[in-house]
Structure 1
Amino acid sequence: MKISTGKLILILLIVLFEGFFVTSVKAGGYSSEKKPGKAGGESSEKTSEKAAGDASEQTSEKAAGDASEQTSEKADGSSSKKSSVKVPYDYSANIECVKEPEKPLYGGGIISAASAGGKKLAAPIKGSVLKVDLKKDHHYALSAWLKLSKGTGDITAIIVPPDGKFITAGAIVAQSDCWTLLKGGATTSSEGKGDLFFETNSTAEIMAESIALQGFSFEEWNAHREEVVAKERKKKVKITVESGGKPLADAELSVEWVAKGFPLGNAMTQEILDMPEYEEWFAKRFKWATMENAMKWYSTEFEEGHEAYEVADKMLALAEKHNISVRGHNVFWDDESHQMDWVSKLGPDKLKEAVARRLKSVVTHYAGKVIHWDVVNENLHFKFFEEKLGKDASGEIFKEVAKLDPKPILFMNEFNTIEQPCDLAPLPTKYIAKLKQIQAYPGNKGLKYGIGLESHFETPNIPYMRGSLDTLAAAGVPVWLTEVDVTKGPKQVEFLEEVMREGFGHPGVKGIVMWAAWHAKGCYVMCLTDNKFKNLPVGDVVDKLLDEWRKVPEKPMTDAKGVFEAELFHGEYKVTVKHKSLKEPIVQTVDLDSTKSEATISC
């Protein structure tokens, strides 16, 4: 690797000086020299270049630990946990480009104390490098208001811990006439002096205001998640049991989660149609699903004019039999490499006709039967339909899908938005800009939109993931992790648990679907079971999380007033009542989802 004279001088300065200093850096002066790629991906997709390892490879098992290890539970299932939170996490994000930057989060965190002789950091900082004191085994939340001296361009934040690794902590699209908020972060595995700086792919100077870098121990970070879980995923419920119109005291109850609550699902393949053991394993765990390929255009009309919905229809019928909700994936895929030959060869007019036929066919065929539509898949990385039909192709397609099937939430769906901050195509700010473009298209006001994040991880940068979710959640539409997987490696199980806990523990995330469909010849990225449907270690951690997030009190009983109160996860529960006065147990299903907290069982 060639190093320019300017870059060499800069590196020497960093080595020589202790404490805080500011020095001029050319745009792009520091680079990790890694190119972004799609980590994981859908089963039929090409595997792109290995994505840059932005996060520290050390994610503490302590942070991913079972919540029950940190919580002592009362008999009613409520928590008596002592909070580990010293500094609350700030989930807020302003997604507007503003004339004046807001105050720094956390009062600047450790940046406010970064000093030379105790002086506070001057602002704005133009292309500067900051020395910061970093602790070992901490997650650092980064935020900053940024702008350029001219034009528009991407600004990337880089953190260099004491071990010398370059971690891309976040990136945004910045302008010259207003300030944009960047949220991200990094994880440290060493202690000592580190560097924080910004770089841009434009020729403009970078200006930064209200920079904040707040450190959290892994225990604190996990405590933030648990606070969200307690507030957003659980609630105090009251079940009253009556017999002959009178309270039934000292009744033994059995409470079992059966449906609803926080959506946690998985992808499924057509092999499930011919394998009862696959069907049984899947239905026992998941009430939400995505068909991996069966609904895609190349699966239903590989040859022009010859439509085939038989496989998808059978898979949908199987899902309905088990009360499994299905996401419609997808109406169109914006990647040219996944168009059929006959589609790729069409001119604009003929393509427009083919798009209209496909849209009407698949959406009317499954209208009222799916909960979501991934409308134009991956339209930040790829632009097949925009290049052929115009820049508003996605907006037009969203409008037409909503006309034919108005109930489902209509999703964009992208990879690397929360996985890889060095991939500049799907940055959170660009995702929101594309969503706003679709929303602003004539006729699209008031449609039900969703943000789909594929979540194909290699080594997750958990602070960046959280900061990006903060930004995306500020758009005010449901956020789902739609295709979660982690590539194989010695820490695959640990990384998957961290990603799942981070998603479940974020207030903006409304559902998670994994991309771990079983294949007879081997799973694409992540398998939960072997070919006999015995759990692999990755499957064990998923089962552990399912058990934890659907946990109910042991041996509950009604009190003297016939009442049982407990803290339960949102959901629909099967309650079995046993009492010496009853000839046989009474079984009733009660809905205790997010909007309901009381139920009465009459014996």
Structure 2
Amino acid sequence: MTTQQTLRQCVKEPEKPLYGGGILKETEAKGYASGKKLLSENSKSAAPVKGSALKVDLKKDHHYALSVWLQLSKGEGDIRAVLVTPDGKFNTAGMIAAKCGCWTMLKGGATSYDDGKGDIFFETNVTAEVMAEGMALQPFSFDEWKGHRAESVKKERMKKVKITVVGPDGKPVPEADVSLERVGKGFPLGNAMTKEILDMPEYEKWFAARFRYATLENEMKWYSTEFHQNEEDYKVSDKMVELAEKHNITLRGHNVFWDDQDKQMDWVEKLGVPELKEAMAKRLKDIVTRYAGKVIHWDVVNENLHFNFFEGKLGKDASAEIFRDVAKLDSKPILFMNEFNTIEEPNDAAPLPTKYVAKLKQIREFPGNADLKYGIGLESHFAAPNIPYMRGSIDTLAQAKVPIWLTEVDVKPCKNQVEYLDEVMREGFAHPAVKGIVLWGAWHAKGCYVMCFTDNSFKNLPVGDAIDKLLKEWTAGHTGKTDSKGVLEVEIFHGEYNATVKHKEFKENCMTLDLDSKAEAKIELRSDKVLTPWVELKYPNRHLGLHRSQESGCS
């Protein structure tokens, strides 16, 4: 369902409406897509001028995808799209940074839970007229939305694989039992980890049974490793990295710097510019070189759309310079911006998708930064998610053509917390631009940050059960029999699998198959006269997620 149209900012000519305009086809013929002034200069962010609201008929339990090209009559500012649903709720469907003289696409939407009349209108935070072209509003029933999401999962996360089983003579073996158990690779799914894991075997066991990726919640941050100036302490983070390595858990580095003034140590805030540069250079070198080869990502300057501590001290290119310096010390990790509210809160103007892409562009265009490896980190701290807005925002961010990760996913406690978390996870998993998800459900004895998966005995709470359900679904293996030609065809999630093949006339055989890269695999069985099974297992004792194979001669 994600549009194949390239999304662009500040273009001279807008493109045609998506979905042919959707339910706005007839309305657009009356002039709403012909540069119509939708807001007078004097309206600013107040209610729309009389006659500028667009009336629409909305259906119960439908998601509405809104897209429109917008520009201002003068200057620069933010434009907010509002969809008023039949229940009277004013839903922010999206917001963009716009300017005079060029068109920028707003892509988002909202959900209607009732049948009836609705309105679309626009607001801006500057004194200027808003003009629109190519507006579209496309409805999707909840079932249609889920169906399109399932289609995307099949296309992006699964593969049709042909497995052929042959005997020692090379002839096909029909009626062979084939079992595939996921053991590695595939879509990255992880969780935040806290230092309590070092002293709690129950926590370690619970975590390692589920996750192949992790982020240290706080332990790599500057205030954790050098709370007092020149008194560095990496003992805790070092031990956590060792624990991750023991369990083959891949780590994201979080973070080199945090742009929030409230997260700086007192001694950092008091430094003059020369002293601050010296302290930052020392911090950057210490953390990056210490964990070189041990992390696949760095969150380089955390939350530098909401905050600007380092820019305020060192100038507008502070973030770009830090990205450059990290890459000089370790060029292998992907270097991420990392922000909250970009996909979860359409009313927050600071981290809008268009502003995120613009900030990344600024960093990329800094001298020496063009060829760095970049990533987009979306913290994803949700309350009640606006799913159409989430999808539209990721579509917009995808124009940057870099990996997108949901880096700190959680949902605030509420009666629908489990349902909301499931929706957010499935939406992220289905989007082709999203390359990994890390949950923010780190355990603390005195309470979690927002979302707890277990109680203090590490028994699952409802949210933990929801994650286990997704893990089982997304790491599911397969069992089946070969046909008369010795072939088993299966549609299965990307990943590495331990394949076990049994047949009454042959010895059991096992091997690891990389189904990320292969569409076909051939497994040869040996004669029953062979005393031991022919084993070619990359991970003989590993199980991914919550799946456990039955005992066999292969493990």
Return the TM-score normalized by structure 1. Answer: 0.83
Indicate yes or no: 2:147 matched with 1:236: no
Return the alpha-carbon distance in structure 2 between the equivalents of residues 133 and 89 of structure 1: 23
Cα separation, 2, equivalents of 1:406 and 1:290: 20
Cα deviations by residue, 1:485-519 (Å, 9 ceiling, x for unpaired):
00000000000000001101111111111000111
| Alpha-carbon shift at residue 156 of structure 1 (Å) | 0.3
Equivalent position of 1:105 in the other structure: 18
Other structure's SS at 1:466 match = helix
The one-letter amino acid of 2:512's match is T
Q: Could you tell me which residue of structure 1 aligns to residue 100 of structure 2? A: 176
Cα gap change, 1:412 to 1:176, in 2 (>3 Å): same
Name the structure where strand makes up a greater proportion of residues.
Answer: 2
Q: Is the 8 A contact 2:2 2:431 kept in 1?
A: no
1:120, CA displacement in angstroms? 5.6
Tell me the distance in 2 between the aligned counterparts of 1:307 and 1:242. Answer: 60
Deviation at 1:575, TM superposition (A): 1.5
AA in 2 matched with 1:310? K
1:336 counterpart = 2:247: no
SS at the partner of 1:229?
helix
> In the alignment, does 2:123 pair up with 1:210?
no
Question: How far is the alpha carbon of 1:314 from its aligned partner?
Answer: 1.1
Secondary structure of the 2:87 match is: coil
1:313 aligns with 2:238: yes
Measured after TM superposition, the shift of residue 600 of structure 1 is 3.2
Whole-angstrom distance in 1 between the partners of 2:286 and 2:402:
27
Structure 1 match to 2:54: 130
Q: Residue 385 of structure 1: which of 310, 323, 326 is its match? A: 310
Q: Could you tell me which residue of structure 2 aligns to residue 505 of structure 1?
A: 430
* Residue number in structure 1 paired with 2:341: 416
> Which amino acid is 2:513 matched to?
V
Amino acid corresponding to residue 504 of structure 2 in structure 1: K
Q: Does 1:145 align with 2:69?
A: yes
Which residue number corresponds to residue 370 of structure 1? 295
1:508-527 mapped onto 2 (5 Å cutoff): 508-527=433-452
Structure 1 distance, partners of 2:125, 2:468, is 44
Instruction: State the 1:278 CA deviation.
Output: 1.1
Q: Name 2:118's counterpart in structure 1.
A: 194
Write the distance in 2 (CA, Å) between the matches of 1:119 and 1:425. 35
Q: Which of 512, 523, 530 is the aligned partner of 1:589?
A: 512
Distance 1:602 1:312, change over 3 A: farther
Q: 1:172 touches 1:182 (CA, 8 Å); kept in 2?
A: yes
Aligned residue type for 2:156: E
Residue identity matched to 2:15: E
> For 1:230-278, what per-residue CA distance to the aligned partner results, in whole angstroms no more than 9, with x for missing partners?
1110011123334435344332222111111011111111111111111
Instruction: Work out whether 1:225 is the aligned partner of 2:149.
Output: yes
Tell me how far apart the structure 1 counterparts of residues 273 and 523 of structure 2 sit (CA, whole Å): 62
Asked whether the equivalents of residues 373 and 408 of structure 1 are also in contact (C-alpha less than 8 Å), the reply is yes
Task: For 1:122 and 1:250, locate their aligned partners in 2 and report how far apart those are by CA, in whole Å.
Answer: 62
Calculate percent identity across the aligned residue pairs.
69
Give the SS at the match of 1:391.
coil
Counterpart contact for 1:158–1:170, Cα < 8 Å: yes
1: CA distance, partners of 2:4 / 2:233: 46
Aligned AA for 1:297?
W
**Structure 1 residue aligned with 2:325, among 391, 400, 412?**
400
Partner of residue 599 from structure 1, selected from 500, 506, 521: 521
Equivalent-residue separation in structure 1 for 2:306 and 2:238 (angstroms): 30
- SS of the residue corresponding to residue 556 of structure 1 reads strand
Closer, same or farther: CA 443–122 of 1 in aligned 2, 3 Å: closer
Name the TM-score, length of structure 2 as normaliser: 0.90
> Match for 2:252 among 308, 315, 327?
327
User: What's 1:361 paired with?
Assistant: 286
- CA distance in 2: counterparts of 1:471 and 1:449, whole angstroms: 16
Give the whole-Å Cα distance in 1 for the aligned partners of 2:191 and 2:498: 23
Please state whether the residue corresponding to 2:425 is helix, strand or coil. Answer: helix
After superposition, what is the alpha-carbon deviation per residue over 1:543-587, rounded to whole angstroms, capped at 9, x for unaligned? 11111112233x31233443322111000111222222345x333
Q: Which amino acid aligns with 1:576?
A: T
Mind listing any 5+ residue stretches in structure 2 that lack a counterpart?
Answer: 40-51, 526-555
Name the SS for the 2:144 alignment partner. Answer: helix
The aligned residue for residue 350 of structure 1 is: 275
Q: Distance in 2 between matches of 1:147 and 1:559?
A: 61
Report how many residues are paired. 511
Unpaired runs of 5+ residues, structure 1, are 1-87
CA distance in 1, matches of 2:518, 2:397: 28
What is the CA–CA distance in structure 2 between the aligned matches of 1:94 and 1:558, rounded to whole Å? Answer: 46
Tell me if the contact between 1:91 and 1:470 (Cα under 8 Å) persists in the aligned partners.
no
| Secondary structure in structure 2 of the residue aligned to 1:394 | helix
AA at the equivalent of 1:601: I
Per-residue Cα deviation, 1:153-210 (whole angstroms, up to 9, x for no partner): 0000011111111101100000001011000100001111111000100001111111
Q: Residue 254 of structure 1: SS of its match in structure 2?
A: strand
1:160 aligns with 2:72: no
Partner AA of 1:224 in structure 2: H
Return the offset for 1:588.
Answer: 2.0
Does the 8 A contact of 2:9 with 2:354 survive in 1?
Answer: no
What amino acid is aligned across from residue 103 of structure 1 in structure 2?
A: K
